Amino acid sequence: MDKILLIIQREYLSRVKKKSFIVMTFLVPVLFISMIALVGFLVAKQNDLGDKHKIEVVDESGRFMNKLKSTPVITYVTAKGGYATAKSTFIKEGYDYLLYIPASLTGVQLLGEKKAGPMTSGKIEDELSDIIRSQRLAEAGIDTAVLSKAQKPVSIAAMQLTENGVKDAHSYVAMGIGFLCAFLIYICLFIYGTQVMRGVIEEKVSRIIEVVISSVKPFQLMLGKIIGVGMVGLTQFLLWIIISVALSMTIGTALIKTQVSAKTEQVSQMQHGNPPGTAMAAGAQPDADVNSVLHDIAGIPVAYTIGCFLFYFLFGYFLYSAIFAAVGSAVDNETETQQFMLPITLPLIFTFALAQGFIINNPDSSLSIWLSMIPFTSPIAMMIRIPFGVPAWQLGLSMLFMIIGFLFTTWLASRIYRVGILMYGKKASYKELAKWIMYKE
Count of domains for the chain: 2
Give the whole-angstrom CA distance, residue 167 versus residue 158. Answer: 9
Final residue of a structural domain among 113, 134, 155: 134
Query: How far is the CA of 151 from the CAs of 154, 180, 301, in angstroms?
Result: 9, 35, 37
Query: Cα separation of 219 and 250, whole Å?
Result: 46
Give yes or no: residues 326 and 427 share one domain.
Answer: yes
Distance, in Å, from the CA atom of 82 to the CA atom of 345, rounded to the nearest integer, reads 62
Q: Rounded distance, CA 87 to CA 84, Å?
A: 5
Helix or strand (DSSP H, E) at 126:
helix 118-139
Contact in structure between 131 and 64 (CB atoms under 8 Å): yes
**Is the same domain home to 352 and 431?**
yes
Whether residue 82 is predicted with pLDDT greater than 80 in this model: the reply is yes
264 falls within a domain: no
Same domain, 73 and 190: no
| Average of per-residue pLDDT across 49-70 | 81
46-60, 107-121, 344-358: the lowest-pLDDT one: 46-60
**Does residue 405 lie in a domain region?**
yes
Confidence of residue 300 (pLDDT cuts 50, 70, 90): low
Q: In this structure, what are the phi and psi dihedrals at residue 18, rounded to the nearest 5 degrees?
A: -70, 145
Go through 59-71 and write b for each residue having 16 or more CB atoms within 10 A of its CB, e for each that does not: beeeebeeebeee
- Provide the pLDDT for residue 70: 82
Cβ-contact 312, 332 below 8 angstroms? no
CA dist., res. 288 & res. 298, Å (int)? 15
Whether residue 396 sits in one domain with residue 341: yes
Cα separation, 327 vs 315, whole angstroms: 19
Q: What is the pLDDT of residue 399?
A: 93
> From residue 206, how far is each of 51, 79, 96, 113, 424 by CA, in Å?
57, 77, 64, 62, 11
Residue 71 domain flag: yes
For residues 152 and 102, which has the higher predicted lDDT (pLDDT)?
102
* 314, 321 Cβ separation under 8 angstroms: no
- The residue that leads in pLDDT, 366 or 188, is 366
Classify residue 148: in a domain, yes or no: no
Residue 333 lies in a domain: yes
pLDDT (average), residues 370-396: 89
pLDDT at 260 over 70: no
Please tell me the least confidently modeled range out of 15-24, 138-147, 242-251, 268-277.
Answer: 268-277
Average confidence (pLDDT) over 334-339:
74
Does residue 316 share a domain with residue 193? yes
DSSP per residue over 192-211, as a string? HHHHHHHHHHHHHHTTHHHH
Strand partners, 159: 168
Q: 202: closest CA among 322, 332, 10?
A: 332
The pLDDT of 105-131, averaged and rounded, is 83
Whether residue 277 lies inside any domain: the answer is: no
The winner for highest mean pLDDT among 37-46, 309-318, 415-424 is 309-318
pLDDT at 128 over 70: yes
* pLDDT cut 90: percent of the chain above it: 6
pLDDT of 22 higher than 80: yes
55 occurs within a structural domain: yes
Q: How confident is the model at residue 402 (pLDDT cuts 50, 70, 90)?
A: very high
pLDDT surpassing 80 at residue 169: no
- For residue 236, pLDDT beyond 70: yes
Torsion of CA 319, 381, 397, 197, to 10 degrees: 0
Q: Confidence band (pLDDT; 50, 70, 90) for 370?
A: very high
* 368 and 423, same domain (yes or no): yes
This prediction's pTM: 0.66
Considering Cα of 327, then 406, then 16, then 28, what sign does the dihedral take?
A: positive
CATH number at residue 73: 3.40.190.10
Question: How many CB atoms sit inside 10 A of residue 126's CB?
Answer: 10
pLDDT value at 243 more than 60: yes
Give residue 86's domain range.
51-134
Residue 179, C-beta contacts closer than 8 angstroms, at least 6 positions apart: 355, 356, 360, 384
